[in-house]
Structures are given as C-alpha cells and as structure tokens.
C-alpha cells in the first residue's frame, strides 16, 4: 500500500521533471544561459579579465653595479614575466612610473653584493604601481617568486652559508605563478551554480504562477512537495553538468589541477545547489511574477557570489561587517571548499565545516520556502 503510493508519487515527480526538461530543451535561452555562459565566463575570467600578466615592464635601478645585482636583473628579465625596459638612476624611477613606461621598479641599493657575501640580510626595493590592485598583486606575487628562486640559487652557490631570509607568503603556496584561473575556477563555479539555480528556478516557478497553470497543478493529485521536487530536479542536473563543465574546462584549458576527489566536488555542488534552489523557490513564491523574480534572483544570487564569496575579493581583507555577512553566504563555503579540493587535495576531514554550513543554509531556506509555498494557496 505505502509502496504503491510512493511509486505513484515518484511517477508524478517524474512527470513534472520530464515536463520541465522539455521546457528547458525547447527554450534556447535557458540552455544557452546554462551551458554557454559557463564557458564564456571561464574564458573571460581566465584570459581577459584575469590579466595574467607577462613581460611586465620593469625598470632596474642598480646602485650596486655588482656581479650579484646583474644576476638579479638577469633573473627578472629572463623569467619572461618581466622585461627590463630601462636602467635609470634611482632619481629617474619616478618619472618612468608617472609616464607609464613601467609598472614596477626594482631598486638595488649599494652594498647588495657585500651583504650577501657577509651572509647578512640583503635587501632590494620593489616599487609597484598600485593604481590597479589586481595588477599590483600579480607583480608582487611574481616578483616574490623570482626573488625566492634567485635566493635559492644564491644559497646553492654558496654565496652565503645561511639561508637567505625570505618570507614566503602562504597564499602563493598553491598558486606560485599567481595564475588567476586557479582561483577563478572555484569562484566561477559558485557564481554559475548560484545563477542557474536561483534564476532558473525562480523564473520557472514564477512562470507557472503567472500562466495560471500552478492552480491547474494544485487541482490535480500532484502534491505540493511533488511539484517542488519535480520542478527543481532538472535544474539540479543542469547545475551539476555546469560544474563538471567548468572543472573540465579549467583542467583542460587552464591546467587547473584536480587534486581532490571528483565525487566530493559533486557532493559540494549538490548541497550548494539545494540551498540555491531553495532560494529560487522562496523568491518565486514571494515574487509571483517573472520580472520581479528575475530581478530578485539576480540580486540575491549574483551579487553575493561575486562580491562576498571570496571569488574576487579576499574575505580576509573585508571590513568586519562584510566579513560577518559573508558567513551567511553559501557561495563563500563552496568557493573555499572547491579551492581546497581542487588545489590542495583536501578531503572531508578538513572541509566538513564548509559542507555543514551549506547544508544548514539549504535546510533552512527550503523549509522556509516550502512553508510559504503551502500558505500561498490555502
């Protein structure tokens, strides 16, 4: 008896999902949004917007004029990351900066080689153009990497017996070349999943209200929960496909490593999607028409996913109020989790708090949305 009721319920959910899949298939805009956008975005962020710089114009102000300082210049010039575009006196650096000839300057003070030979801390100055923080960060990361390689070489060449005292920044550890695709892929995944889930479900369900077919559905034996599950299922599948697509493209085109387990990635995607689908459902129940649903969906899905998830702006740098708000944003946990899985090979032992946070959000919002959904019609 219960078995056959469950079977009938599953059949009805299947019918809803099947119908929804036909909607999606017959609507090129939805499919485009879901499958072309990820690829376009990945290329945009991976190549264009990312500004993975090379041949950064650098001026080299050498006050030491020694064997060691010339070696440092070669290290920068030969890396391909920097091109030495001038060798002015230290007073001339400012002019070259202002004229836009260089975005970075390396100043080697007098006594550089002497300090190295004495085994003392040798200092060079890196000046950079901070007008564009993204560029500035990259210059910093790349210069840091080159300096590190150079100091290792120096240590090996027995210029000094002591390890050159260099600080290694933690955030460059998994992305030593400062390649933006590496941190963009996890961020982008969160962004795309959020859009797909929130916008498409909000649209699909608001459309059902607008069309009046929701009432028709309520008048049929299809239950509320069956309607919700049936409508959300195809978008869940679509979202997971997107996630696979982004991860695969990231790996193939941008050499983003997949150090952790793929099933774990999918699990993260699934739990995140559940929350986002709930958010879309909630919006559509409150909004009632497609226009409002689109706007609310876009605002509530895209903005936090871009701004507060750590996709572009590091959460550590945010002021306290924003950092606190970001704790309520599921994309934050997905970005963190995916970075951990993809770049560090972390497993659940490390990332369970992220998964738990997303699960809590999903349960809360789905509960809220279903409650509102039931009251809507009564």
Binding site for another protein (CB under 8 A): 8, 11-12, 14-16, 18-19, 22-23, 26-27, 211-222, 377-378
Nearest-angstrom CA–CA distance, 183 and 195: 19
Distances in Å between the Cα of 246 and the Cα atoms of 88, 184, 190, 204, 346 are 46, 10, 10, 24, 19
Kindly give, in sequence order, each residue whose CB lies less than 8 Å from that of residue 342, ignoring residues fewer than 6 positions away: 185, 186, 247, 250, 256, 257, 258, 259, 260, 265
Nearer to another protein, 213 or 317 (CB): 213
CB of 173 to another protein, least distance (A): 51
Burial of 306: CB neighbours in 10 Å, binned 0-12, 13-18, 19+: middle
CB of 204 to another protein, least distance (A): 11
Cα dihedral 221, 224, 226, 228 sign: positive
Contact (Cβ atoms closer than 8 angstroms) between residue 234 and residue 31: no
Nearest-angstrom CA–CA distance, 50 and 35: 21
CB of 25 to another protein, least distance (A): 10
Kindly give, in sequence order, each residue whose CB lies less than 8 Å from that of residue 39, ignoring residues fewer than 6 positions away: 245, 249
CB of 133 to another protein, least distance (A): 46
CB of 214 to another protein, least distance (A): 8
Nearer to another protein, 17 or 193 (CB): 17
CB of 3 to another protein, least distance (A): 15
Nearest-angstrom CA–CA distance, 100 and 104: 10
CB of 223 to another protein, least distance (A): 8
CB of 188 to another protein, least distance (A): 30
Nearer to another protein, 192 or 203 (CB): 203
Nearer to another protein, 1 or 378 (CB): 378
Contact (Cβ atoms closer than 8 angstroms) between residue 252 and residue 266: no
Nearer to another protein, 48 or 212 (CB): 212
Per-residue b or e along 249-280, where b marks 16 or more CB atoms closer than 10 Å to that residue's CB? bbeeebebebebeeebbeebbbbbbbbbbbbb
Nearest-angstrom CA–CA distance, 375 and 87: 74
Nearer to another protein, 18 or 314 (CB): 18
Per-residue b or e along 70-83, where b marks 16 or more CB atoms closer than 10 Å to that residue's CB? eebbebbbebebbe
Residue pointed to by tokens 């006594």: 111
Nearer to another protein, 6 or 95 (CB): 6
Nearer to another protein, 23 or 114 (CB): 23
Nearer to another protein, 23 or 121 (CB): 23
CB of 212 to another protein, least distance (A): 4
CA atoms within 13 A on the CB side of 165: 8
CB of 372 to another protein, least distance (A): 17
Nearer to another protein, 14 or 111 (CB): 14
Nearest-angstrom CA–CA distance, 298 and 318: 23
């Amino acid at each position: 008896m219960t078995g056959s009721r469950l079977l009938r319920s599953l059949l009805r959910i299947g019918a809803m999902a099947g119908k929804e899949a036909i909607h999606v298939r017959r609507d090129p805009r939805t499919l485009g949004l879901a499958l072309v956008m990820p690829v376009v975005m990945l290329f945009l962020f991976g190549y264009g917007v990312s500004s993975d710089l090379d041949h950064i114009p650098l001026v080299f102000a050498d006050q030491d004029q020694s064997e060691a300082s010339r070696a440092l210049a070669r290290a920068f010039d030969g890396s391909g990351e920097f091109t030495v575009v001038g060798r002015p006196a230290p007073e001339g650096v400012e002019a070259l900066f202002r004229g836009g000839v260089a975005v970075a300057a390396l100043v080697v003070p007098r006594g550089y080689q002497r300090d190295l030979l004495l085994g003392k801390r040798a200092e060079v100055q890196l000046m950079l153009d901070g007008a564009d923080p993204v560029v500035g960060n990259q210059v910093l990361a790349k210069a840091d990497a080159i300096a590190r390689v150079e100091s290792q070489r120096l240590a090996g060449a027995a210029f000094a017996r002591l390890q050159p005292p260099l600080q290694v920044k933690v955030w460059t550890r998994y992305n030593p070349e400062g390649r933006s695709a590496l941190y963009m892929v996890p961020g982008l995944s969160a962004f795309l999943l959020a859009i797909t889930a929130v916008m498409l479900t909000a649209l699909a369900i608001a459309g059902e209200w607008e069309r009046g077919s929701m009432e028709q559905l309520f008048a049929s034996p299809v239950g509320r929960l069956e309607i919700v599950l049936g409508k959300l299922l195809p978008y869940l599948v679509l979202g997971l496909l997107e996630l696979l697509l982004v991860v695969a493209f990231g790996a193939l085109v941008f050499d983003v490593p997949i150090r952790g387990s793929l099933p774990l990635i999918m699990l993260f995607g699934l739990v995140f999607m559940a929350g986002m689908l709930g958010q879309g459902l909630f919006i559509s129940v409150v909004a009632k028409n497609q226009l409002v649903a689109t706007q609310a969906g876009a605002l509530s899905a895209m903005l936090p996913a871009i701004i507060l998830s750590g996709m572009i702006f590091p959460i550590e740098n945010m002021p306290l109020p924003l950092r606190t708000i970001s704790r309520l944003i599921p994309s934050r946990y997905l970005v963190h989790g995916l970075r951990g899985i993809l770049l560090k090979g972390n497993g659940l032992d490390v990332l369970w708090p992220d998964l738990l946070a997303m699960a809590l959000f999903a349960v809360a919002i789905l509960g809220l949305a279903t409650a509102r959904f039931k009251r809507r019609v009564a």
